[in-house]
Amino acid sequence: MSWSIPLGRIAGTEIRLHLTFLLLLAWIGVAHGMQGGLPAAVQGIVFICLLFGCVLLHEFGHVAAARRYGVRTPDITLLPIGGVARLERIPEKPTEELVVALAGPAVNVVIALLLLLALGGVPAMAAATALEDPAHGMLARLFWVNVTLVVFNLLPAFPMDGGRVLRALLAMRVGARRATEIASGIGQALAFGLGLLGLLNGAPLMVFVALFVWLGAQAEAQAVQLRELSRGMAAEDAMITRFESLPVTARIADAAELLIRTAQTDFPVVDGGGRLRGILTRSDLIRALQQEGPDAPVLEAMRREVPVVPHRAALEEALRVMQEAAGPIGVVDSGGRLVGVLTHENLGEMLMLEAARAARAG
């Protein structure tokens, strides 16, 4: 996920902090500082660290459950409204997906119960609506943080855990694809309602959350669709095979010429042996033309270390590599020569075609 900074690694999982999380931290820090000076600000920071810990433990609930089914988690991104654990893959069986989705909120339920024991009863609701107010006890606010994490994450909308629970339950009855459609539809309707409510009440945070839910629902639906579609397909079934490439001796002016003459925007740079040396994207090209001029070699402007996958590799595997690379990747034959390119655009086109076929069949 972009807009995030790496913090460290726990048990093979990278912990990343989304920059919007820092906004929340600043808000709570300032609110504390203005009320009670330095001691309150310090207290605020302790509270933030504990809150951060609750979100992290929630995510590790997912990680531990996924590991039981042999699924690893490359990274976790912490957002103000929770975290996102990026699983290597979604478990195949709906029951497994259900367990993994519920494992996160279950951790917050346990924390809330422990806090309840420590507090000796349910703390005042007032602490729930003013989490930034140090006047309410630390443990009381932490209790409400965990209750909020459970309730919010169980909303039946992608990308929340509740959306996954809903999808898994639906998948047991109507199949994975239809389940995804219904779950993401409900997610977007919920996001719309939430956004409207936020606008009417003048609550910018609510609008922000709604936007996050809306975008998440869309991204999740597309990712799941793509994953289902790619099942049983190979990289060579989805790759672009008609494309122009540039020789290693090419100059920026040659690339500019190709950009105009073709509909292509990314150009593979290939050596004499047919091996992929890098990819020159449109933005790389424009930047190089501006800074170095038309005579600059493409070798210096291109992206190096572009990953490649064998042409017979499972498309699912290729999608994973693409996600990691965050850009187009190459497809090579058994001799290591470039035979195709996979881009987000042509995968998007594949989705559109499949949707049209499904609509006609259904």
- Interacting residue ranges for Zn ion, rule: CB under 5 A: 104, 153, 161
Q: How far apart are CA 253 and CA 294, in angstroms?
A: 5
Closest CA to 187 of 205, 204, 209: 209
Q: Compute the residue count for the chain.
A: 362
Q: Cβ distance 221 to 166 under 8 Å?
A: no
Instruction: Give the shortest CB-152-to-Zn ion separation in angstroms.
Output: 10
Q: Which single residue is written with the structure tokens 């302790």?
A: 46
Residue 241 near residue 339, CB atoms below 8 Å: yes
CB of 68: closest distance to Zn ion in angstroms? 16
Distance, in Å, from the CA atom of 307 to the CA atom of 312, rounded to the nearest integer, reads: 15
Instruction: Say how many CA atoms lie within 13 Å of 253 toward its Cβ.
Output: 4
Q: How far is CA 33 from CA 26, 140, 145, 326, 340, in A?
A: 10, 20, 20, 40, 58
DSSP 275: -
Residue 50, both tokens = 């504990």
Q: Which is nearer to Zn ion, 100 or 252 (CB)?
A: 100
Pull the structure tokens for residue 258.
């190709």
* Residue type (1 letter), 351: L
CB nearer Zn ion, residue 82 or residue 330 = 82
Which residue's CB is nearer to Zn ion, number 166 or number 315? 166
Write the CB contacts of 171 (distance below 8 Å, at least 6 apart in sequence): 94, 97, 179
- Say if CB 156 and CB 162 are below 8 A apart: yes
Nearer to Zn ion, 153 or 184 (CB): 153
Q: Which is nearer to Zn ion, 104 or 134 (CB)?
A: 104
Residue 90 CB, shortest distance to Zn ion, in Å, is 13
User: In this complex, which beta carbon is closest to Zn ion, that of residue 40 or of residue 106?
Assistant: 106
Shortest CB 13 distance to Zn ion, Å: 14
d(C-alpha 230, C-alpha 228), whole Å: 5
Write down the least CB distance from residue 165 to Zn ion, Å.
Answer: 10
Name which of 4 and 153 has its Cβ closer to Zn ion.
153
Q: What is the CA radius of gyration of the chain?
A: 24
- On the CB side of 137, CA atoms within 13 Å amount to 11
Q: Output the residue with the shortest Cβ distance to Zn ion.
A: 104
Closest approach of Cβ 250 to Zn ion, in Å? 48
* DSSP letters spanning 174-197: H-HHHHHHHHHHHHHHHHHHHHHH
Supply the minimum distance, in Å, between the C-beta of residue 183 and Zn ion. Answer: 15
In angstroms, give the least distance from the CB of 189 to Zn ion: 21
Cβ proximity to Zn ion: between 101 and 347 the closer is 101
